[in-house]
Chains A and B, each alone.
Chain A
């Protein structure tokens, strides 16, 4: 807990209901903090719009052409735009405005195929009732983490007398076949019986379809490929002769899916789990009764084939020719899949497994051998570019392989968590590609650092606000691949009027950097999505990648004790409002590139404007390139309106070329009558060294 609050920005905790039916209008209520004068909702799809009806109540219209899926909604108010929350556009009738109860007598009647929006109360279960005929298969799905809830759902089905027939503790899915005609109860509660407004859920009771997994779990972008969907209640589904993780029989359905190209922006509007940093789409099975849950299909980069069992023993290794991708399953329990490929001396390949990152609960392990001799045991890396505040770790391993001799090499893939688990949904994709250095970016907004406590281990969601003349910093995390260590130039496009962004770099070998957004004088009020882009020179060419947005979902007081829930966002939105001025505005006296000779001394004059009640003396710290970390803090008197940054280029060893630096400081003041602390960023300062 902070002793002094941060400068407030809207915080969105929940929207109720958490979704609506496509082609209809629904009323939603928002809850959170600092939602002053919340007058707009920003959705990540233009087809979803909202109008304010009364404080914290909005009428939301979902246009008929909006595809089924999870979108982001943010609230826009006087203090800026908030962090996102999930908003589901569905194709089933929704039940909203009804409170669920913890007694069978007051159970909410659920028509087959409908969706209920609500939240559980602490130390209680919510009761629902539905009729079923003997032998009818009913799929009960409770979405929680997927829609940003804190809840871990436990589902149960009771008979008319209240006796438990079966229960499902994980996955939020209960596949129930009615043993007789009659009324049945469905109950929902959190794993540890926690509850409250943060423990919201969407409960669907239907005949399906529900997808367990898809195979292969990837396809070539821009192609039409054949897939088999495994699940329950699939339209036209046939028995698959397989049981799911819950030991219930699965159906299968063969489909052809046209995959978009990598650049097709439409598929990027969905909010995704943190693990899905790499490219792919979410696919839902459609039926007359409604759409299924989305399942991730990755974009393959090499020719994709499938594993052929038996391939468990080295002698049975499946021959593949590299580079390539192989889709397989860690199935049944303790499955090992062996592949053999030829390589010439000096050949370099990267071996990587995609499994955990596609939402599977696996921990793949690779063993590379040659003729019985171990070359490498590959476990997942512990390197976490995002750090604990925004972890980008996964259980998927990657390895740079260099053939020491001509010959046949063998790679075995197994699941470290699969020793006793027979679950066909444990799919994976082994990629063996030529070394292709590349990178992915995630842009995250974080609360200002806690000046009072350097050991603060809190993480929290944060929105964005740019007042007149204000500069805000965005943390951009770089996930580097195949040994790419070069610099990445960050910039932003699609900026609203009045907002500028000077390109900044993520330095060689570093896994994060900062990008500054600066509002000019009295910019027009606006909330919109921007694109943050990274460019890098790789080999002979240039690679450009758009950053995914990322957000922390719930506040965590100590990230060493609790995991920080986080995910990718469907867009990266900022709010601008010229009605107020930035608390403190710091910029270089002239808007130009400051030139200097190598080894000279460069003095850059700064202009400091204060507004409101931010009257403390400041200590400015230079940042932006590694070299300026050594610059001493610049003291700025409370009354001063100018300052100077003095750079001794020789001592600092700033290399020749163009650089962007900035200053930041932590300060306190009063805002809306309360004491607040905040980090102030200067506008970026461009320098050019001969």
Chain B
């Protein structure tokens, strides 16, 4: 029909790679066999899907020619948008390359203009045009005297402000085009926000008509929005491929309307996909899974795309457990060959760092590499899980998240006690649900029952519920305090109902004023929804409100709801957090932002891990064992020719820099330097520090990002690289002292009578758990053998020269990525 569109289609498809010829086409709109258009304002975006020879589905919405027959009933534009012209039946046909498909269309009341409903039709225009965004008129104070509710959550308020405020100066029914609202919107009069809508657009025309109609609000009996649906829901796409989405709004009267051009689109990983305002999604060049969040008037839905790499996957090892089975299935379906297995030295170092927060000792390295036992990796995992260092490392992790923070000197005793309690729980492998219960429902005095310390930092129900949700349910509810959560289904009602669990927390001063005693204040748990000013009963997220008797501690009811087998969030949050700990990327990322609109990259994996975890009795060590035993965890970090860009399919190990405390201990171990922290026994490792107060005395820990325990987010620990870190390792006096100390490694090695080959071998094993290769040996030995002069120019004696040489080699090793990273 329209030649330019065919040309365009050809060009587009060439750009996307090889042009695939469709074997069959399908046209759909709402999923019904017949498309119904009612009223003059009706519009419908079509979705044309082609099935290729190899069975793959591809979006051809913008690649086909459209025709409607008989003429005059509907018209279809080149983007596949259908507009009604007159009542009757017609058939819309799409064809390309000789393949075609059609869809019957029925038009009713084509001449009727349905009365406009303000919340259903006008408010979405403001959302789409970003008028009511948090940056402009949607913020709490509005913009330049005009306030709209954020993202249109409160249509009645919007109507008040728009139509009645300021003596109705914003709308001019007698001459609608001259309404201030429209003139500002199209930028024909100065507007800080610029031009938000086009004069030649359906939205503009609808606004004009609405104003001309006298700005009707709509009737109470008008249908209300119930949900939104996106088509397709899931699709496998090609790299750089394109997909048109269709967004359908379902109303309470059963009617369905196309809101594709009014909805908002956002991918959950911007490095994988980008979206257009008209609902077109384009993949970039990273294979994997991406979710596109679709939002319309407070309802959300998600489109999930999988982009395979499409390579042959032949070298998968035999799966060891369900983790492998599911990860490998994904690699096969995506067509991404994994990297090979890591060697023993790499695995030893990696798993020691991930489980026990330390590099292996020289002895451990020698023994492990020489051990011929085929089960040695599993045994190593078991022995690391049994070690005191595992307890230290994970106590350190949880201590920061549980805000074990030294805000004043009198916090010290409570902090030591709380850290010790967490460590004991890790050591004894206390079931996770019990661990959480004892924190959330903690009562008593801080030294007698240390988890009460959590309540010392998290002081009011708002903070308590937000931390609980973020830490234990993997959800960020903060936004829902003041308005409906923009990305998730949680409303203020949900927020305040959840806070009601914490409404009966009593506090009474103990002998030390700062250490309050926590207990359940008898009374019926209730909170007030700050929006509606109505009382609300405690309710778990998505659960029914509870009647909790005055005598019952509602926090125990909360703990019961969380640890219930059927709770959809509790187990998933933990397994996802621990997955991220070991695999450097959560199955949902970020790990505490789990929502429908941020879907897991491998939902089967997440579900299976969660089910396994619950079935095991919330066994944390058991979970770690399953994850680290898997071949998936043990892949090498070195990419093959295909998986360099893999960020979420776990086809290789994703390296990351050692966390601050682990690095500090590793540097000390390598240089044989003592660590000392004020008030703690000499030799205390940074991994064992009980709270954040020791950061103040250690520039190293601060510059490498040790958190201050001010937040329930693991992101408080900065893993970012910085110039300050490089400079510190290169130049700091602290490091120089460790290198040049008389009792340090350099001095030891210099005085050691063995040949350099052997000593360098030890050094490399200490740093990297491997032997140096011949090139490294040659380079190092050449450096060690260089004759040196002292400051006056006199040649140094051999031992002094050797020592300097070893200091240099050690310094170089300290600064290598291989040392600084876990890989």
Contacts and interface: CB of A to CB of B under 8 A. Distances in A.
**Are A and B interaction partners?**
yes
A426 to B, nearest CB: 11
Contacts of B551: 336, 367, 412, 414
Nearest to A565: B511
Contact of A169 (B412, B421, B513, B682): B421
A154 interface: yes
Interface stretch (B275-283, B438-446, B471-479, B779-787): B438-446
A279 B214 CA distance: 86
Contact of B510 (A163, A412, A563): A563
B388 interface: yes
B449 A192 contact: no
Interface in B426-472: 427, 437-438, 441-445, 447-449
B511 A391 contact: yes
Contact of B417 (A169, A421, A564): A169
Contacts of A102: 681
Interface size, B (range): 35 or more
A561 B511 contact: no
A481 interface: no
Nearest to B682: A123
B360 to A, nearest CB: 15
Contact of A170 (B412, B442, B447, B555): B447
A227 interface: no
Nearest to B444: A417
B449 A421 contact: yes
Interface in A553-612: 560-564
Residue from A152, A417, A563 with most neighbouring chain B CB atoms (10 Å): A417
A253 interface: no
Interface in B395-421: 410, 412-413, 416-417, 420-421
A167 B427 CA distance: 10
B512 interface: yes
B138 to A, nearest CB: 43
A417 B443 contact: yes
Contact of A416 (B388, B424, B511, B520): B520
Majority SS at the chain A contact face: loop
A192 B413 contact: yes
Contacts of A418: 443
Contacts of A361: 444-445, 448
Contacts of A44: none
A419 B555 contact: yes
B416 A367 contact: no
Given A123-B679, A420-B437, A561-B513, A191 B413 contact: yes
Contacts of A164: 388
Contacts of B522: 365, 367, 377
Nearest to A416: B519
B234 interface: no
Contacts of B437: 420
Interface string A196-233: 00000000000000000000000000000000000000
B800 interface: no
A193 B680 contact: yes
B129 interface: no
Contacts of B413: 152, 191-192
A182 B553 CA distance: 47
B517 interface: yes
Contacts of A414: 551
B443 A419 contact: yes
A238 B387 CA distance: 34
Contact of A563 (B417, B506, B512): B512
Nearest to B522: A377
A678 interface: no
B556 interface: yes
B513 A560 contact: yes
A192 B444 contact: no
A192 B510 contact: no
Interface string A122-165: 11110000000000000000000000000010100000000110
Contacts of A334: 553, 556
A373 to B, nearest CB: 12
A358 interface: no
Contacts of A193: 679-681
Contact of A363 (B388, B410, B519): B519
Nearest to A191: B416
Interface in A166-180: 166-167, 169-170
B571 to A, nearest CB: 20
Contacts of B388: 163-164
A411 to B, nearest CB: 13
Contacts of A393: 511
Interface string A603-643: 00000000000000000000000000000000000000000
A293 to B, nearest CB: 18
A59 to B, nearest CB: 36
Contact of B441 (A170, A365, A419, A563): A419
B447 A419 contact: no
A401 B154 CA distance: 54
Nearest to A562: B512
Contacts of B520: 416, 419
Contacts of B556: 334, 419-420
Given A192-B679, A334-B553, A417-B519, A561 B442 contact: no
A326 to B, nearest CB: 19
Contacts of A564: 511
B383 to A, nearest CB: 11
Contacts of B412: 192
Interface in B670-695: 679-682
Contact of B447 (A125, A152, A367): A152
A223 B488 CA distance: 69
B813 to A, nearest CB: 28
A122 B679 contact: yes
Nearest to A169: B420
A561 B411 CA distance: 11
Interface in A94-145: 102, 122-125
A191 B419 CA distance: 11
Contacts of B510: 563
Contacts of A124: 681-682
Interface in B525-559: 551, 553, 555-556
A194 B421 CA distance: 19
B384 to A, nearest CB: 13
Given A170-B448, A561-B410, A123 B442 contact: no
B258 to A, nearest CB: 53
A193 B555 CA distance: 34
Nearest to A415: B443
A125 B420 contact: no
Nearest to B437: A420
Contacts of B679: 122-123, 192-194
A367 B522 CA distance: 9
Contacts of B443: 416-421
A420 B440 CA distance: 10
Contact of B424 (A125, A167, A391): A167
A170 B427 CA distance: 16
Contact of B517 (A163, A166, A363): A363
A363 B417 contact: no
Contacts of A563: 510-512
Nearest to B512: A563
Nearest to A247: B428
Interface in A351-377: 361, 363, 365, 367, 377
A163 B356 CA distance: 14
14 contacts: A123-B680, A154-B420, A163-B387, A191-B413, A191-B417, A367-B551, A393-B511, A416-B443, A416-B519, A417-B448, A419-B556, A420-B437, A562-B512, A564-B511
Interface of A: 102, 122-125, 152, 154, 163-164, 166-167, 169-170, 189, 191-194, 334, 336, 361, 363, 365, 367, 377, 391, 393, 412, 414, 416-421, 560-564
The 6 closest A-B pairs by CB, nearest first: A563-B511, A417-B444, A416-B519, A164-B388, A361-B448, A169-B420
